[in-house]
Chains A and B, each alone.
Chain A
């Protein structure tokens, strides 16, 4: 027998993994979407009490105020090193780092490379918005050729400033990395895919398989000088060709988790 009487039910609300704090992010910044997805995944896995996040230096430096779970703040770029220590002394905890492109691909390039090379059993959430956000929109290692920033006002000239770094492609070459994927946050369909990838990365860690990283293409409306919606279009038009979405490394040991 089925009950066809209609009742109003709650479909979605702010996840418990986020605190009640109002974030300092600019309107439309996809940092907020990434935070929300992480909190939802951690809530759904029921591991909030066992999770330790590592906040970076950059726009997400106050992430410890926004996530309703244990957090540590690392020196600039050193989040993978701190995560290594925390995971090794507390192997039963879920340890993740949340890093931007200035943090992970620039000053922290050595840390991330060696953490992946050692196959540390941690999860890295890498926010790639092709610019330094917090410091005022300077060129980042991930800035696209020709892209105007405050330190490349005529556009990034590859002869003068070099080429962008593609971290997923680099890290996927390392034997210690088991799950390295790139997703985007520029529309609803891709946000759903990003959430699944984050879930998979945490499952990889929970199964003790090794290093996992999810790169999320993100927007920076303020420093790109456009509206939030225009910035999402800019990701689609300019960043997707330079940073193709996809699974760069999925170890055969990974068994697909069910559901979600």
Chain B
């Protein structure tokens, strides 16, 4: 299984929770312990076991393009976008 990770840009995240509702592995949670500069609780990846596959579904539903997705791929198959 491919390995990946996401980075949530907290400048853009508005805590709408859509990403948390679509993650197939249920790895995204709302960080209730902190606020973004705009005053929202941001989404964050909670993935202690490295289960994120970098499928990018969260980034497709994110209305604010706040999610950057990385995936480990064989060097000969590197492409920029899915």
Chain A residues packing against B (C-beta within 8 Å): 2-15, 18, 22-23, 25-33, 36, 187-188, 191-192, 221, 227-229, 232
**Given B21, B38, B78, which contacts A7 in the complex, CB threshold below 8 Å?**
B78
Contact A28 B59 (CB under 8 A): no
Given contacts A7-B74, A8-B72, 16 further A-B contacts (CB under 8 A): A2-B76, A5-B74, A6-B3, A6-B72, A9-B70, A10-B68, A10-B70, A10-B80, A12-B67, A26-B14, A28-B63, A31-B63, A32-B65, A187-B22, A188-B60, A188-B61
Q: Which 5 A-B pairs have the closest CB atoms?
A: A32-B63, A28-B16, A27-B14, A27-B16, A14-B65
Contacting residue for B57 out of A3, A5, A188, A228, CB 8 A: A188
A residues less than 8 Å from B15 (CB atoms): 27
Complex interface: chain A residues within 8 A of B17 (CB):
28, 227-229
Do residues A18 and B65 form an inter-chain contact, with CB atoms below 8 A? yes
Q: How far is the CB of B21 from chain A (nearest CB, A)?
A: 5
Kindly identify which residue among A9, A36, A188 contacts B73, using a CB–CB cutoff of 8 Å: A9
B residues with a Cβ closer than 8 A to A are 3-4, 9, 11-12, 14-18, 21-22, 38, 40, 54, 56-57, 59-76, 78-82
Give the shortest distance, in Å, between B22 (CB) and chain A (any CB): 6
- Residues of chain B within 8 A of A14, CB atoms compared: 9, 12, 65-66, 68
The distance from the CB of A186 to the nearest CB of chain B, in whole angstroms, is 10
A216 to B78 Cα, complex, angstroms: 33
Contact of A27 among B9, B40, B67 (CB under 8 A): B40
Interchain CA distance A31-B64 in the complex, whole Å: 9
| B76 pairs with A3, CB closer than 8 A | yes
Enumerate chain A residues within 8 angstroms of B18, measured Cβ to Cβ.
Answer: 28, 228-229, 232
> Are A188 and B22 closer than 8 Å at their CB atoms?
yes
A29 and B75 form a contact (CB under 8 A): no
- For residue A192, which residues in chain B have a CB less than 8 angstroms away from its CB? 60
**Are B61 and A191 in contact (CB-based, < 8 A)?**
yes
Chain B residue, CB-CB nearest to A191: B60
The answer to whether B64 touches A23, judged by C-beta atoms less than 8 angstroms apart, is yes
Would you give the shortest CB distance from B19 to chain A, in whole angstroms?
10
Q: Give A11 to B59 CA distance when docked, in angstroms.
A: 10
Tell me, in angstroms, the Cα distance from A221 to B14 when the chains sit together.
13
26 A-B pairs, CB-CB below 8 angstroms?
A5-B74, A5-B75, A6-B75, A8-B72, A9-B70, A9-B71, A9-B80, A11-B4, A11-B59, A11-B69, A11-B81, A11-B82, A15-B65, A22-B12, A22-B64, A25-B64, A27-B40, A28-B16, A28-B17, A29-B63, A32-B65, A33-B62, A33-B63, A36-B63, A36-B65, A188-B61
- Residues on B with beta carbons closer than 8 Å to the beta carbon of A221: 16
Given the interface pairs A27-B15, A27-B40, the reply to whether A7 lies near B61 with Cβ below 8 Å is no
Contact of B11 among A6, A22, A187, A227 (CB under 8 A): A22
Partner of B74, one of A4, A12, A22, A227: A4
For the complex formed, measure the closest distance between the CB of A68 and the CB atoms of chain B, giving whole angstroms: 12
- With the chains together, A28 CA to B13 CA distance in Å? 10
Looking across the interface, which residue of chain A has its beta carbon closest to that of B79?
A: A9
A14–B18 alpha-carbon span in the complex (Å): 17
Shortest beta-carbon distance from A197 to chain B in Å: 15
